[in-house]
Amino acid sequence: MEIDGNMFGAIDIAVSGLKAYGKQMEVVSSNIANARTTDAGDGQPYRRLEAIFKAKEDGASGVEISELVRDMGDFQKILANPGDPRADADGYISMPNVQLPVELINLNIASRAYQANAAILKRYQKMVESSLELLK
Amino acid sequence: MAGHDMNIMNYLEAGLKAESTRQKAIANNIANVNTPGYRRSDIRFEELLAKAIGSKGEIEPSELEPEFYQPKTTQVKANGNDVAMDTEVGELVKNSLRYKTYIQLLKKKYRQMEMAIKVQG
Amino acid sequence: MAVNFNPDVSSIFPNIEAGKAADSTEAKVNFGKAIAKSLNKVNELHDKADASIVELLSGKSQDINSVVASVAKADMSFKLLVGVRDKLVAAYKETMKMQI
């Protein structure tokens, strides 16, 4: 792990944070939008998506979304109205394994983290500008 | 010392020109964040300057023009566009810091020349 | 930047009594040496600062902070030299005004 003089490193790391948490927002909004999607194209309900965060490298590095995985948890089953074409043999409809409270918590986390990264960018810019004051 | 200093000031002015051109490129990228097929553009300058300095006078830094080019290093989205707002914001921050630095350095140089010429007291 | 500095300051004190000649010559030489040394130091710092500016401009380094530090250092030593020069010139002018 080297400590080099790349002072724009902080900027790149903050930008990677913006990208990663922006992606997380995408995932959360996809889950929320599809919370009631009983047919995601192949007859199966929508499966919840989850973003896996990974540090870019050892040491002081940025973050990235390494992959988007499907939550393989069980679908929730709800009782169908009689005659509903989507009902299975037992009269139940499978709903997506999306839980709104969980998604909203993730939304909050992503939003706060995104703002924190944006604040880093702004603060860092001010820091370097203040060191430029030495030359005034 | 005089000739050497004039060179540094020429380089700094070339750097200023490059950074302000680069800012136009970034603004263009941001404006086209959703344009299908649009690839982000950047400025080639730093390597050109390094080459000009290394050539020991064959290439004049004052003749250096910053060139637009498309790095094509970012991921392409489904619509052929490869602009990401976060990246552009980061580039804007770096660009603005470099610009301010060059300005301060130039100011410093001009003031040193003034001091050398003027005698107080 | 041409800094016209003549380390030989004997021209400022033209009328030295013979008895004090040895002492004052030594003092002159030491003072001259000191000025020459600080002139070299200013040049050295100045060249280092310029080199770091070129590194930043050519993209070899992204370290704005170290450029600022080396330029500030060079600038401080330069200001010191200029201050000494101005004082010497002022002293010279005063001397020239003196009625002999």
Residue holding tokens 């040049």?
C43
- Using CA atoms, how far apart are residues B68 and B54, in angstroms rounded to an integer? 22
Whether B94 and A11 lie within 8 Å, measured CB to CB: yes
Q: Which of C1, C54, C75 sits opposite B2 (nearest CB)?
A: C1
Nearest to B2 by CA among B105, B106, B113: B113
Residue C73 structure tokens: 């250092």
Whether B86 and A15 lie within 8 Å, measured CB to CB: yes
Residue B104's pLDDT is 94
Average pLDDT, chain A: 89
Residue C4 pLDDT > 70: no
- Quote the minimal CA–CA distance from B59 to chain C in Å: 14
Residue A23's pLDDT is 94
Buried b (16+ CB within 10 A) or exposed e, A74-84: ebeeeebeeee
DSSP labels, B42-110: EEE-HHHHHHHHHTTTSS-GGG---EEE----SPP-TTS----HHHHHHHHHHHHHHHHHHHHHHHHHH
Per-residue pLDDT tens digits for A49-98: 999 999 998 888 899 999 999 999 888 888 888 888 888 888 888 999 99
**Percentage with pLDDT > 90 across chain A:** 59
pTM of the predicted model over 0.90: no
Query: Of residues A27 and A133, which shows the higher confidence score?
Result: A27
Number of CB pairs < 8 Å for B and C?
Answer: 66
Q: How many domains does the structure of chain B reveal?
A: 1
Residue A96 burial by Cβ neighbours in a 10 Å radius (0-12, 13-18, 19+): buried
B101 touching A (Cβ < 8 Å): yes
Q: For C38-55, what is the mean pLDDT?
A: 91
Q: For B27-33, what is the mean pLDDT?
A: 95
Nearest to A86 by CA among A45, A125, A115, A49: A45
Residue B82's pLDDT is 93
Whether B87 and A8 lie within 8 Å, measured CB to CB: no
Whether C62 and A5 lie within 8 Å, measured CB to CB: yes
**If pLDDT is split at 50, 70 and 90, which confidence band does C7 have?**
low
B15 touching C (Cβ < 8 Å): yes
User: φ, ψ for residue B9 (rounded to 5)?
Assistant: -70, -35
**If pLDDT is split at 50, 70 and 90, which confidence band does B52 have?**
confident
Residue C19 pLDDT > 50: no
Residue B17's pLDDT is 92
Residue C14 pLDDT > 60: no
Residue A1 pLDDT > 50: no
Nearest to B67 by CA among B87, B88, B51, B90: B51
Residues of B in contact with C77 (CB under 8 A): none
Residue B62's pLDDT is 64
**If pLDDT is split at 50, 70 and 90, which confidence band does C65 have?**
confident
Q: For B77-103, what is the mean pLDDT?
A: 93
Residues of C in contact with B2 (CB under 8 A): 1-2
- Strands, DSSP E only, in chain C? none
Q: Which of A5, A132, A135 sits opposite C61 (nearest CB)?
A: A5
Whether B100 and A18 lie within 8 Å, measured CB to CB: no
**If pLDDT is split at 50, 70 and 90, which confidence band does C52 have?**
very high
- Using CA atoms, how far apart are residues B41 and B13, in angstroms rounded to an integer? 22
User: φ, ψ for residue C41 (rounded to 5)?
Assistant: -65, -40
**Cβ-proximal residues to A19 (8 Å cutoff; 6+ apart), any chain:** A64, B84, B86, B87
C3 touching B (Cβ < 8 Å): yes
**Percentage with pLDDT > 90 across chain C:** 22
Q: For B79-88, what is the mean pLDDT?
A: 93
Q: For C76-89, what is the mean pLDDT?
A: 88
Q: Which of C63, C66, C68 sits opposite A135 (nearest CB)?
A: C68
Q: Which of A8, A132, A135 sits opposite B94 (nearest CB)?
A: A8
Residue A54 burial by Cβ neighbours in a 10 Å radius (0-12, 13-18, 19+): exposed
- Using CA atoms, how far apart are residues A130 and C30, in angstroms rounded to an integer? 41
Q: Which chains border B (3 or more CB–CB pairs < 8 Å)?
A: A, C
- Using CA atoms, how far apart are residues A28 and A51, in angstroms rounded to an integer? 9
Residue C48's pLDDT is 93
Residue B59's pLDDT is 60
Residue C15's pLDDT is 47
B96 touching C (Cβ < 8 Å): no
Nearest to A58 by CA among A2, A5, A19: A2
CA atoms within 13 A on the CB side of B71: 14
Residue C1's pLDDT is 54
Residue C6 pLDDT > 80: no
**Amino acid symbol at A117:** N
- Quote the minimal CA–CA distance from A132 to chain C in Å: 7
Q: Which of C61, C68, C75 sits opposite A131 (nearest CB)?
A: C68
Residue holding tokens 């030295």?
C16
Rg (CA), chain A: 22
| Predicted complex ipTM | 0.82
Q: For A42-51, what is the mean pLDDT?
A: 91
- Using CA atoms, how far apart are residues B7 and C58, in angstroms rounded to an integer? 14
B98 touching C (Cβ < 8 Å): yes
Residue B57's pLDDT is 64
Residues of A in contact with C66 (CB under 8 A): 5
**If pLDDT is split at 50, 70 and 90, which confidence band does B58 have?**
low
Range of the domain at B86: 2-117
Residue B65 pLDDT > 60: yes
